[in-house]
Homo-oligomer: A and B are copies of this chain.
Amino acid sequence: MSKKDIPYKIYLSESELPTQWYNIRADMKNKPAPLLNPGTLEPMTLEELSVVFCTELAKQELDDTTPYIDIPEELMDFYRMYRPSPLIRAYCLEEKLGTPAHIYYKFEGNNTSGSHKLNSAIAQAYYAKKQGLKGVTTETGAGQWGTALSMACSYLGIDCKVFMVKVSYEQKPFRREVMRTFGASATPSPSPDTNVGREILEKFPGTTGSLGCAISEAVEAAVSTEGYRYVLGSVLSQVLLHQSIVGLETKAALDKYGVKPDIIIGCAGGGSNLGGLIAPFMGEKLRGEADYEIIAVEPASCPSFTRGVYAYDFCDTGKVCPLAKMYTLGSGFIPAPNHAGGLRYHGMSSALSQLYHDGYMSARAVSQTSVFEAGEQFCRVEGILPAPESNHAIKVAIDEALKCKETGEEKTIVFGLTGTGYFDMTAYEKFNTGMMTDSAPTDEELARAFADLPVVNK
C-alpha cells in the first residue's frame, strides 16, 4: 500500500488538538429561535435557565455571537485521554464497493463510553463541579449518553442520577451495569421517585417509558434537589458547541492532507453528532468561503426533519421544560416499538432546524433494515461493529459512493461513525435472524401528534 499517500488512520498529535470550541450560531444570519418560558412564552433569561442548568452552561446556551470559546485546561486534560480521535480512510469499503469515491469516517467509538457523547458529558460535568454542585441528573434512552455522563462524573467525583427509559433499562442490563460500574445510579423511568413519574404511572400503568418522560423526571429531580442541576446529551446549542470538537478535528485532519470533502453525512436524532461534525464546514458555507453538500440521516420511524413541522414545541412529555422552535413530530410522538437504537427524539436541535429550514443542508429518512444491512457490510470489511445510530450515516455514505460508481465521479465523502454497537447486539440478532421489521408513522398518526403542538404557534 506504499502507493497510498493518505494513511489508513489520520491521527492528529496532542498539540494539534483543538483548544477552542466553535459556536456555529455566531456565523448564522438567521439565528435559531430562542427558548421560551412555557409559562410566560417569553424568551428564557439567564436567571431562569440557571435554575435548571449550571450557570456557565446556561450562558453558552444563550450565546449566539461568540464564534470561538476556550476549552478549559482541565477539560483538555480529559480530552487528551481519548482525543484526537482517528479520521479513517475507508480503503477496504471503497474496494469492496468498487467505487471511485474516497470515503472517510470520523470514529468516535474509541473510548469506553463507546460514543461521541463523552465530549459534551465531560464538559457539562466539569461546569457542574466548578459551580460547586453535588451532582447532576439526566435521562438516557439507548444508554450512550447515560454511560458517557457516568464516566465523566466518576472521573470528576460528582454524583450522577440517570433516569433510563424503562424498556431500555430492562433490555439493556449491561449498559445499566456500565453506569453502575462508573458509580452512577440508574432508575427506570417512569419511576415513583418524581411527581411526573407518579402521574404517568397512574395514567399509563403498563408504559415502557419514553425519552420525553425521562427528561421530565430528570428535570424535576434536578430542580427539587439541593445542589443538583440537569444536563442533556443532545438538542441544546451548548451540546452542539461541545461536539464541535469532532468537526474541528475532522477538518484539521483533512486539511493536513489537502483533502476537501464534497459530501458530509451524519446521523441525526437530537443533532449532537451531526451538529458537531458539520460545524466548521457549515461555518465556511455560511461565510461563503466554501461549499459542501451536507446530509442529515434520520430513521424512517422517527423522521423529524423529513416529515416534521417547524414550530415551537415542548421538549418533554411532562411539559416542564422550555419550549424550543424546531422540526418536531410533536412531543407526544413515540417511535414504533420495533425501532432499535437511539435517534428516537421527537424534535431536533434548534440551530440545525434553522439551518435546514434555510436550505443549508438536506435530510433523508432511511428504513432500519437497510441501515443494519449497510452496517453489517461496513463491519465485515472495516472491522468496526457500528452502533445502530452510526449505521444510518453508513447507509447514505454507501448510497452516495455507489452513485459515484455509476457516474465515475471521484467524490470525497466524509461521515460520522458515532460509536460502537457492542450494547446493541439484540438488534443485530433480530437483523441476523430476519426478525427485524421496518416502520414509519402514518400521516394520521403525525396529524394527531401535531394537533398537540403548543398554542404559541397559532
Q: Which A residues are within 8 Å of any B CB, using their own CB?
A: 1, 7-9, 11, 13-14, 73, 76-78, 80-82, 88, 91-92, 110-114, 118, 151, 154-155, 173-174, 177-178, 180-183, 376, 379-385, 420, 422-423, 425-426, 428-429, 432
Find A380's partner among B91, B183, B429 (CB 8 Å cutoff): B183
A6 to B183, CA, bound (A): 30
Q: Are B9 and A80 in contact (CB under 8 A)?
A: yes
Q: Are A178 and B425 in contact (CB under 8 A)?
A: yes
Find A432's partner among B78, B181, B422 (CB 8 Å cutoff): B181
CB distance from A423 to the nearest CB of B (A): 7
CB distance from A84 to the nearest CB of B (A): 9
Secondary structure at the A interface, as helix, strand, loop or mixed, is helix
Q: Which residues of B contact A425 (CB under 8 A)?
A: 173-174, 177-178, 181
CB distance from A145 to the nearest CB of B (A): 16
| Contacts beyond the supplied A155-B381, A173-B429: 10 A-B pairs with Cβ under 8 Å | A1-B77, A1-B80, A9-B14, A9-B80, A81-B88, A81-B92, A92-B155, A118-B383, A154-B380, A180-B428
Q: Which residues of B contact A426 (CB under 8 A)?
A: 174, 177
Known: A112-B385, A155-B381, A180-B429. A8 touches B14 (CB 8 A): yes
Q: Which residues of B contact A113 (CB under 8 A)?
A: 383
In the complex, the 4 A-B pairs of residues with the closest C-beta atoms, listed nearest first = A174-B425, A177-B425, A8-B80, A422-B422
Q: Are A181 and B14 in contact (CB under 8 A)?
A: no
Q: Are A385 and B155 in contact (CB under 8 A)?
A: no
Q: Which residues of B contact A8 (CB under 8 A)?
A: 14, 80-81
Find A181's partner among B80, B92, B376, B420 (CB 8 Å cutoff): B376
Q: Which residues of B contact A111 (CB under 8 A)?
A: 383-384
A183 to B173, CA, bound (A): 26
Q: Which residues of B contact A82 (CB under 8 A)?
A: 383
A8 to B80, CA, bound (A): 6
Q: Which residues of B contact A91 (CB under 8 A)?
A: 77
Find A428's partner among B92, B181, B183, B376 (CB 8 Å cutoff): B181
Of all chain B residues, the one with the shortest Cβ separation from A74 is B1
Q: List 6 A-B contacts (CB under 8 A).
A: A1-B76, A11-B13, A173-B425, A173-B429, A181-B425, A183-B380
Known: A8-B14, A80-B9, A81-B8. A155 touches B383 (CB 8 A): yes
